[in-house]
Amino acid sequence: VARPIAKKYLDAHERVRNNIEDAQEYFSSNVRRYEQCKEFVFKSTLSQSDKSTLEVQQLPELEFNVLEAYISRLRGEFSKQEPSFSVRALNDQSDPQTVEAVEGILRGIMLDANNDQFESKIYTNQLAGGFSVMKLWTEYEHDKTFDQKIRLGQVYDPTLCGFDPMARMSHKGDGKFCYELFPKTKEEFEKDYPDVDLSTVSFTRQGEGFSWTYQQSQTDIIMLCDYYEKKKIRYKLLKLSNGQTVTKDEFDQLEMQIQEQIMLGNVGAVMPTVVNDRWTEEYIICRYRLIGDQVIDYIELKDFTYLPLIFVDGNSALIRNEQVTRPYIYNAMDAQRLKNFAGISLANELENVEQHQWLAPAEGIPVEQQTPWKSPNQPGVLLFNPRDSEGNELPSPQPVPRQPIPSEIPATFAQADTSIQNILGSYDASSGRVNTQLSGIAIVEGATQSNAAAMPYIMNFLAALNQSAQIILDMLPKYYVTPRTVPVVDSKGKRSYQMINQPSGENSVNIDYPQNTLEVSVEPGVNFEVQKNRAMQTITQLMGASEGFNAMMNQGGLPILCKNLSIKGSSQLVELAEQFTEQQQQQQQQQQQAAQAQAQQGNSDNNPEMMKISLKQQEVQQSQQRIDMEDKYKQAEIQLQQAKLENERLNLLLTEKETDQDNAVQLTKAQTERLSNMANLELKHQDQVHRHSMDHINNHQEQ
């Protein structure tokens, strides 16, 4: 069921729609360039018109795409770089554990995003298309919870996103609005929004420019737009006597809490007074969801104070208030076309090279032998007539020299690679091939220069990532409010879990820091592989050239050496090197302390006053030692006496126990004898009765 929408938001449809269409028109040339360049790199370097021309001229359709290799190499180098998040407190009231936990949460969110190759996709769009777009949103952790988590990722399609044309920062966070378009089929839209009336919507074939509805392969498509706009909220800011700055609502809540503490008997609870106040403004984000002719939903995202879409610039230029985005390969596309044309021409020459050519009189060629002469590329035997029909001698056929391929064609084909390298600022493709003595160094130097040529794209990526981290920093205390366990990643890349907002717990951290008290910066983390190799070579050369530098590196520079290693287990080596360095420093400190003690002892031996003081100290120490020994002797005597008494007590207990056991045995023996006597008496009685019975029977029989 659709939510009711206030009339003023429904009436804002025309204004919002005009903003979207104006932004689409402003950025349309960049979108076309994005699509053309990505298709040129990843699909085909020959346009449809190029293919038609080659077909008319009967030339082979060949491509020699070398631009993708440059982009793939930069992507590979970028994959070895991990951005470093650094959070710092803007005042001394922030908890250091909270700062560390926030850094770990930021790394954990980035790790989740990279499970879908977030960084690689963004950087690829920068290089090949000229720009990209990041997105921040929240979602429930799973279906059985109300806890939400913050997500960072790439948008559905960067070309379907737009920003305020007046924004000037690289991430466009200073703009008033941004939006994202989603193409949906008519059936899918009606299923998701059954209450929206589409009776007035018409679908036509898509032409040039932006259209809210169109047909594609007989399928009706409608554009759904999420439009985010900043809305100013005016409120009063209060400064309290304890130095705290709060809003009026926060002050009222604080007053209620202190009154509750006073009612509970907390005599130390004191309500701070207001020493200053002023009116100020802040932004919240409003989201309009609309189609071409109506607004279908409106919501205020009060927990968002920044636009959730972040523009990732490539290497754009602002020309007469128009932003021109440029991919990495933008200026090398013509050189690629030249290479294609030279390669096609070279292939055509090779394809049309004839096996042999002959100059012969027409009368000398027999009629039945004309086919071999007309097909010089097919091997065979060529027959001719030495005389004509009248018997006149004909000149013999003469081979015609083969015309070589024009040298300009292969030279242009080879020179195009150099031109592309110079345009892109990449020189490592041919470094080290001529002079074998400089092969390794030349390749490393060339790759480092290539990294520098692509650095504007990396810096703009980091600027966008820094903006997204700042937004996450603002959202954390608003969404991570319940006790839970969140995934974190420490500075060494180790994954773990952090308890937050627990009522009691030693390892729990409260994510409840006030707004604008923490600041984050994103910097390049691990250097590029070639830069690490270069650093290692420079360090080893300096160690060989300077004994002092060598000693310094061996004493405290081992972690730096290990950090520049490109081997498996280098992180473990760094930890071992740090532990080893700490142990060495501790041993040096102990040796220095021992040396100082010996020096003081040596000085005291040469000073009479110090000798007297030393003798008195020794006497005091000896006296104290005697007292300690006497105390220990007395304690030993007491312990022995206690042990002797304990042994005597145990002996008495054993004797008493043995007596009890003897008495029990005698009693048992007496009882046994008594029972035996009673049994004997009973047997005798039975015998007596039996004899009497027998005597009675015998007497009766005799009578």
Q: Give the model's pLDDT for residue 656.
A: 73
Cite the DSSP H helix spans in 288-438. 333-351, 370-374, 408-424
pLDDT tens column, 182-203: 999 999 999 999 988 888 888 8
CA gap 556, 563 in Å, rounded: 13
- pLDDT category at 33 given cuts 50, 70, 90 is very high
Q: Which two tokens stand for residue 529?
A: 């592989």
Neighbouring C-alpha atoms within 13 Å toward the C-beta of 292: 16
Spatial CA neighbour of 104 closest among 508, 515, 513, 491: 491
Mean pLDDT of 62-78: 90
Pair type for strands 484-489 and 495-500: antiparallel
Alpha carbons 109 and 132: distance in angstroms, whole number: 19
What digits encode the pLDDT tens for the residues 535-552? 777 777 777 787 777 777
Tokens of 64: 């020699």
DSSP state of 305: -
Better-scored residue on pLDDT, 672 or 306: 306
Q: Where are the alpha helices (DSSP H) in 43-131?
A: 48-56, 67-78, 96-114, 118-129
Residues 6+ apart with CB under 8 A from 585: 556
Phi, psi of 369 (to 5 degrees): -110, 15
CB 180 within 8 A of CB 309: yes
What is the pLDDT, as a whole number, of residue 179? Answer: 96
User: Which residue bears the tokens 């006053």?
Assistant: 609
In 3-state terms, what secondary structure has residue 346? Answer: helix
Q: Note whether 312 and 133 are within 8 A (CB).
A: yes
Least confident range from 39-53, 81-95, 687-701: namely 687-701
Residue with the two structure tokens 């498509």: 221
Four-point Cα dihedral 573, 576, 577, 583, nearest 10: -170
**Which amino acid makes up residue 458?**
I
What is the chain's alpha carbon radius of gyration, rounded to the nearest angstrom?
47
Residues 135-145, mean pLDDT to the nearest whole number: 89
Name residue 101's beta-bridge partners: none
Q: Give kind and range of the element (H or E) at residue 281.
A: strand 274-290
Residue 142 to residues 147, 149, 152: CA-CA distances in angstroms?
A: 8, 10, 17
**Which residue, 208, 209, 205, is CA-closest to 219?**
205
Collapsed DSSP state (helix, strand, coil) of residue 87: strand
Helices 67-78 + 408-424 axis angle, to 10 = 30
pLDDT computed for residue 411 by the predictor: 93
558 within 8 A of 580, measured Cβ to Cβ: yes
Number of other residues whose CB lies within 10 A of the CB of residue 646: 10
pLDDT tens-digit map of 540-594: 777 778 777 777 777 777 777 777 666 666 667 777 777 777 777 777 777 777 7
Give the confidence band of 533 by pLDDT, cuts at 50, 70, 90: low
- Say how many Å lie between the first and final Cα of the chain, rounded: 126
Ranges assigned E (strand) in 411-515: 484-489, 495-500
Q: What is the mean pLDDT of residues 649-676?
A: 73
176 and 162 Cβ atoms separated by less than 8 Å: no
Hey, what are 538's tokens?
């420079």
Residue 509 neighbours by CB distance under 10 Å: 22
Q: Select from 397, 378, 189, 192 the least CA-distant residue to 292.
A: 189
Looking at residue 438, its pLDDT comes to 45
Q: Annotate 13-29 with DSSP letters as a single string.
A: HHHHHHHHHHHHHHTHH
**So what's the pLDDT on residue 391?**
77
**Residue 602: pLDDT band with limits 50, 70, 90:** low
CB-count burial class (<10 Å; 0-12, 13-18, 19+) for 608: exposed
What pLDDT is stored for residue 436 in this prediction? 46
Q: How far is the C-alpha of 237 from the C-alpha of 249, rounded, in Å?
A: 10
Q: Among 83-87, 185-189, 254-258, 351-355, whose mean pLDDT is lowest?
A: 351-355
Q: In what helix (H) or strand (E) does residue 183 lie, and over which residues does it extend?
A: strand 177-185
Share of the chain above pLDDT 70, in %: 87
Cross-strand partners of 298: 288
pLDDT of residue 676: 73
Q: DSSP letter at 94?
A: S
Length in residues, the chain: 703
Q: Measured at the alpha carbon of residue 378, what is the angle toward residues 372 and 379, in degrees to the nearest 5? A: 85
